[in-house]
Structure formats: C-alpha cells, structure tokens
Structure 1
Amino acid sequence: MTVRTHADSLKWVEHGTGLLVTQVALLDEESIARPSMLPGWTRKHLVAHVAANADALGNLVHWARTGERTPMYSSADQRGADIESGARLSVTELVAWLNVSVHKLGVAVDALTGEQWRTEVVTAQGRNVPATEIPWLRAREVCVHAVDLGTGTTFADLPDEFLAALITDIRGKRGIDEVPGGPLPEVAAYLAGRPHSLADVPDLGAWL
C-alpha cells in the first residue's frame, strides 16, 4: 500500500496542471472540438470539466479557510450544467476560464494555514475528509484528464509515485484485493478504466 503525503499531492497537482494547460494551449477551435478519450465527451467538455472542478474545489478551500460550509456544487445538476455550458464556449473563452480557475485555486491553496488544512470538508460524493485531501482530489483530475485529452500524453508521462498512489486509491474504491501484474502505467490505466495493454483482464468500466 502506497502512503502519499500532503506535499506529494501538491507536487502532483503542479505536474498534472502543467501537462494539461500546456496541451490545451496548443489546441485551436477545430482540434478542441474533436472527441476526447472519454466516451461522449469532446475535448471542450473535458476542459470545461477540469475548469469547473477547480472552481468547485475552490469552494472547499473557502470552507477550510473561513469555516463557512461551501459545497463543491450548489446542486446535483450543477456539475453537468457547467460542463455543457462550457463546451459551448469558444476555444479562447474556454482556455481563459481554465487558466483563471487554475490560478485562483492555486492562490487559495497557497494561503491556507496549518490549522485550516485540518478543517473537515465534504466532497461531491458526500465523503467527510480533511482539507489536506483537496490537493489529492485535484491531482487525480489534472493528471488523469491530461491523458484523457488525447493529445499524446500517456500514463507513462505521470510520476511513478503518483501512479502507485492512484492504484492504491482506485483499489480501495473499487474493492479490488489484487491487481494484475504489468508495467505501472498500464496497471494504473487499466484500473482507471482507460486503454491499456494488459491481456486477459476483465473490463472494469470508467473511473473518475
């Protein structure tokens, strides 16, 4: 079992954000409208999701900083509505939203104190977690979705330590006791329900 630290998660957020933002900046109106690697989603949907997720996690950071209960989303429908409306934006508008949301979340996270990091918040799935989990939630989003963008980044481009932590996380959530052998990036891709090279393994379906 891999034990990740708060510092690890912050480092992986930076790595994944760099990968994703760099790739998105290279997309034009035509290429960003093409399908992502997630069924039913264009790259526009994916970028809108990552931007909206930054805003939503920013709500949890606000909760941790002020003690004011601020859910990630105002309603169960807001997440989907934000993604759909974002997918209708121009590439310029969408990239601007992504960059602003990334910057705002980074500034808010950097401002949290040690005591504030220990504040308990509630995820969109209803889990009670300390605010120290927020960077891990974001690291998963930016790292995995940098691959889902379908512009050439693969799980092999993600840090081994992140992949090991991701495997541990997914195993717990899927209730998997044993994982198949194989290269770390391929095992992580398989458990996340993404394309992989492992043979003779059952389909797990998409995760995240």
Structure 2
Amino acid sequence: MTEISNDQLLERLKAAADNVGAKLNGLADAEVVVPTELPGWTRGHVLAHIAHVSTAVARQIEYALRGEKIEFYDGGQGGRVQAIEMNAGHTAAEHREYISTAMTRAFLVLDELDESQWTLPVSYRDGDVRGVALAYWRELVIHLADLQLGRGPESWSKEFCLYLVEFLSARVPEGLRLKLLPLGLPPLSVGTGTRTVSISGMLTDIAAWLAGRTPTLGSLRAEAAADSVALPTLLPWPSALAAK
C-alpha cells in the first residue's frame, strides 16, 4: 500500500477513537458482560484492553520524548493480564470514563509531536513512535470489531485492509506463499515459499482471516494446484505484544 503520512495516520487514529467512543455511548451494563469471539474474553475484557493499550501508547511516547525507553505495559505481560482482569467487570459508565481518560492522555502527546519526533526510538518492537501509532490504529480498529457492536471487519477501509495484509504477512508459515485474490482488486502475494495457496474473497474478509477474526461478507475459497483446500494455519501475531 502507499504509505500514509504521519498527519494522515493521526487523522485515521482520531477517526478510529471516535468510532469506539460512539459505540460506547449507548452501551448498557448488561452488554458489557456479553462474551466475544476472543477466548475467555467478554466485551468488558476488550474494553479494559482498549483502555490499557491507550495508556501504554501514551507512556511509550512520553518516555521517548524524554529520551528514555520503558516496557510497553506497566508490569510487562503479567501486568497487562492483571489490569485487564481487574477492570473487565467495570460498569458501562466506568468503562467509558476509563477509556476516555486513557485516550485523552494518548492523543495529548500524539497531537504535540513534530515531524522529527515520530522517529524517536521506543521499546515496543525495538521500533519508533510511528510504529507505536500504527499499533494503536490496529488495536482500535480491530478491537472495535471484536466488540460486535455493529462495526465488524466489513467496515474496514481498503487502506486499512491493505496495511493489515502487509503487517500480517509475517503470519505466513515458512515454505508457503499466499496468492491473495480480493474481488475486484489486483492480486496480492505474501510469503516467499515454494508452495502456493490462492485465497479468494472480499478484501475485508481476507484481512479479517489474516487477523484471526471471522470473515463477515462471505466465505473465503482456498485453492492449491487448482484443487480446493482448507485455509492454511497461520503463525501467531508478529509480536508477543500484539493484540489478542
């Protein structure tokens, strides 16, 4: 995909945050405890995770601006799990407040970045501030779909799907090459193996499958040597710190 500028990325982030906020406005307490497709997670777990990620993004950038690095989650992966479990049972109003406060903190630092500061080093994936912002975009868009509140993968933009395909190419197992055939769009290729499997379907469904989510607009078709085959088993997410 054509790389978006830092200003464009910030616009996409704000739109994603607005979408999350809009879906939370009418959320009732009974809806918070509804299970999601993520194993063992209710909507409350997803909401707690969104808030926790927002805080993690803010502190990565805050420390980077001071010339320091800090682990992504306070307390590492153990702290991440503990924070989610502790806050998953909040009421809808508490989740709204928790997320609003965390997002405000994140965008306070994102809004003040000058062009040079987007390249400051951070601990997350041994990358930079821009990489953290891209991760935040992924988290907000994908986890909003996980909430199953009317904005599923079918609402993902072409731009986001193409970015996700590129990012998640690391999930293609060694020895395998996926020829992606999104309907109405040019073919894409991910993976460098000698065995080729073609995957055809809507672009949003292909991106959802690569992200470990359920396609929503139709079934994906996989073929190898002109024969129908099962969809390949993908590797874990590219980072231990990526979303569930």
TM-score, with structure 1 as normaliser: 0.90
Alignment pair present for 1:84 and 2:85 = yes
2:134 aligned residue = 136
Structure 1 gaps, min length 5 = none
**Matches for 1:30-179 after TM superposition, within 5 Å:** 30-73=30-73, 74-123=75-124, 127-175=125-173, 177-178=177-178, 179=180
1:4 aligned residue = 3
Deviation at 1:168, TM superposition (A): 0.7
On the 8 A contact 1:10/1:136 being kept in 2, the answer is: no
1:182 aligned residue = 201
CA deviation string 1:148-186 (max 9, x = no partner): 001121212121101110111011344563231221101
Instruction: Tell me how far apart the structure 2 counterparts of residues 145 and 88 of structure 1 sit (CA, whole Å).
Output: 17
1:195 aligned residue = 214
**Is the deviation greater in 26-35 or in 72-81?**
72-81
Q: Superposition RMSD on alpha carbons, in Å?
A: 1.9
On the 8 A contact 1:146/1:153 being kept in 2, the answer is: yes
> Kindly, what percent of the aligned residue pairs are identical?
25
RCO comparison, higher one (Cα < 8 Å, 6+): 1
Structure 2 gaps, min length 5 = 181-198, 222-229, 238-242
TM-score, with structure 2 as normaliser: 0.77
Larger Rg: 2
On the 8 A contact 1:16/1:139 being kept in 2, the answer is: yes
Structure with greater strand share of residues? 2
Structure with greater helix share of residues? 1
Instruction: Tell me how far apart the structure 1 counterparts of residues 134 and 54 of structure 2 sit (CA, whole Å).
Output: 12
Q: Number of residue pairs matched?
A: 204
